[in-house]
Structure 1
């Protein structure tokens, strides 16, 4: 064999195996990507892999019969096609040995049968197969092992092949070794990229401190499980838990101690959940907050394991620098219900129940608002509170609506929160409770622009109105002026459901003469008497005129005194709100 012929065959071989390896690795990802129990379709996909190898080998075999000049070239390519798949570490034992038998079959088809030689070659191939089966990762990803494997295989193949001279044998062995160098380079590069992707995936999907699944993974998997449970009409229990007094542990014992608490609590939860017969998922969704999902489990089935998790955390004997640190957790529990539209509906209920557990002194379990084994002597620390403030028809001083409000306890005083962004699920839950206590069945709630333009929030409020016949009227007060596009799109949907829209944005609203484009799409405006810049009486009268022309409602809030009330009457204001009519009594903080 001349050098030119050898070089041309080498070039053909390199191009062939480059295409073959690229195709084979793609086929592997497609056919062998699933682990665990397999469906019929997945089994057929796995069977397609050896089938393709057999068909390609048969084609190369056929080519050797039709092109006598280049027979060794095609046999070398066939040897590579049969040998390379055996390096695949995703093959099961059965798949490995079946492909090995297929390779052996083609080997002996192309070699003259000599009993002594047959037995020797068979022993070499069996030994090499055993070595490959048990040391495959080392052979595939290490240069020296990979080249030894290729050398033994090619030397054995070509030394036992009759009909060619020694120079040709060496030439085809060298070609096979060069093909193996290429495959090893490709395998190592692919393996490094795969490990990098696996590392990045793990960093995204798992919390590096506790090794619980991350919040990102929670959003992905919990949404999928929720949709699956809804679609199949199967139950699922949702557990949210929060380690009690975690900030105090960090402040008193150091963040290192806090990290130890997180790791110990996670390890305890996993060990306890491992005893549960059903499937479960554990996620770290925040600093000291965790979520447990129990798919295909009703509340009755879940309560025992939830109690075990709670008790296991309570029994933890944790020490930091020889100091004992008590670890407890508060639990909020709910299940997927028929009226739930999205995962946030379930999450919101669990969060509400967790809040109730905190109210009952922590270290307890609350299921849909009902606390199990609550400690009657627990001291409750209130950090925020809810109340309603009436909106008054000033001429008659009758209550026409009750607005749901919140105050937070900060630096020793009850203060107005910077932003009222209470979740829709919580606000709906509060409204359901309030309707049984209030004489006037008209309510008003506050939404941010993001909440107002959220598809799920819109659906949930529309559904609440439809399913609550005792509710006379619901008003949403937007804390900032949305864009015209948002106001037109979502305003129509809210108002078609009978939900009124008020703009409560006294610091950012344009003056009545500057822009009135938004007025047709809302039901009114709220102005705060004490936050109007400029001539208060003049600006209020301007807005009143604009509202009257468009048959909209103007509410004057911030009426705190008799003087404020008389000014509102003098200006002809019909609706007002403020501490002059009703001042809430905040919980006393000790």
Structure 2
């Protein structure tokens, strides 16, 4: 296989290409998230995910399409473009208002030399409706079998999109059915692959929360304190910033614990942490509370 001559089935190479694109997205997103956390930026993970997702997919779509713009085969990458849109709409759940969506579509149509064709306008409208449909089913998930709603929406809108492409480029029924079926296969693979990534990400999040939070009081623990204080000390020295810390314990806690038992001691700890956290939240939510010892 060379750059211009391929001896491997395009379906097989397309599958690996799609998986590679989304794996790269996940790797870069994880790196960006780590940078944001390390620098203590006041940006949520969801905001980073949405901004990076939109930029990444726009670069992906425009770069890929630029190689075939104006040619009779300018339809060949449509399945990749549709899969990218599904990824943003369903899995990232990025909400794109109409006043942003329409200009993006118009810019793409001008870029793709397709603004003068009625089929392209119908195709563009179908893309927007498809995107919002995936947004809708993501926002209204079914408790059982969410895959069914996802694949039904994908099959219906995918068929409509390929219908307008077939009209514009005079594609045969055989090509139309092949491309439509390829899109369905890619949608199934995308769903399976991304769900696997999301499960792994959720598991890592649960493990991180378990490792950094005290099971009894739900406050952050010594591991979280150690990590945070290292950063704060280094940042304070480097930027000549003020830093203050207060430590306290509960008077006569051992006596209460020994006299009334561990269950009573646990209740005292929970009440002490709850009261302290309430006072902190009412006065300065930026202050953090850690349980670093037995009391």
Q: TM-score, normalised by structure 1?
A: 0.40
Please state how far the C-alpha of 1:151 moved relative to its aligned partner.
1.7
CA distance in 1, matches of 2:100, 2:203: 32
Is the 2:105–2:124 contact (alpha carbons within 8 Å) kept by the matching residues of 1? no
CA apart distance, 1:207: 0.6
| Structure that is richer in helix per residue | 2
Are residue 226 (structure 1) and residue 233 (structure 2) matched? Answer: yes
**Equivalent position to 1:269, from 269, 276, 291:** 276
Distance 1:48 1:152, change over 3 A: same
Tell me if the contact between 1:31 and 1:45 (Cα under 8 Å) persists in the aligned partners: no
Structure 1 residues 31 and 223, CA gap change in structure 2 (3 angstroms): closer
Alpha carbons of 1:253 and 1:135: their partners in 2 closer, same or farther (altered >3 Å)?
farther
Contact 2:123/2:164 (8 A) holds in 1: no
Q: Which secondary structure does the structure 1 equivalent of 2:247 belong to? A: strand
For each residue in 1:124-165, what CA deviation from the matched residue of structure 2 results, as whole angstroms up to 9, or x when unmatched?
5444434434553749x9422332342233112112221113
Conserved? CA contact 1:9–1:73, under 8 Å: no
Q: Within 5 A, what are the aligned runs for 1:106-145? A: 106=108, 113-114=117-118, 118=121, 122=125, 125-133=127-135, 135-136=137-138, 138=141, 142-145=146-149
Change in Cα spacing, 1:232 to 1:114, as seen in structure 2 (3 Å) is closer
Are the equivalent residues in 2 in contact too, given 1:86–1:99 (CA < 8 A)? no
Bigger strand fraction: 1
Tell me the equivalent position of 1:77: 80
SS at match of 2:214: coil
In the aligned structure 2, how far is the partner of 1:187 from the partner of 1:120?
Answer: 26
**Which structure 2 segments of 5+ residues have no match?**
1-7
Deviations 1:509-545 (A, max 9, x none): xxxxxxxxxxxxxxxxxxxxxxxxxxxxxxxxxxxxx
Matches within 5 A, 1:178-327: 178-277=185-284, 279-288=286-295
2:161 equivalent to 1:154: no
Deviations 1:53-72 (A, max 9, x none): 3343234334435874x554
> Does the 8 A contact of 2:101 with 2:128 survive in 1?
no
What pairs with 1:484-523 in structure 2 (closer than 5 Å)? none
Cα RMSD of the aligned pairs, angstroms, is 3.7
CA deviation digits over 1:173-216, x for unaligned, max 9? 11011111111111111111111111110111111111110101
Number of matched pairs: 273
Contact between 1:27 and 1:49, CA under 8 Å: does it hold in 2?
no
Note the 1:544-555 alignment, pairs <5 A: none
| Alignment partner, residue 102 of structure 1 | 104
Whether the aligned pair in 1 keeps the contact of 2:217 and 2:273 (CA below 8 Å) is: yes
Looking at structure 2, the residues matched to 50 and 149 of structure 1 have their Cα atoms a distance apart, in angstroms, of 21
Question: What is the CA–CA distance in structure 1 between the aligned matches of 2:240 and 2:79, rounded to whole Å?
Answer: 57
Greater shift in the superposed pair: 261-270 or 72-81: 72-81
Q: CA deviation at 1:234?
A: 2.9
Task: Give the number of the structure with larger relative contact order, counting CA–CA contacts within 8 Å between residues 6 or more apart.
Answer: 2
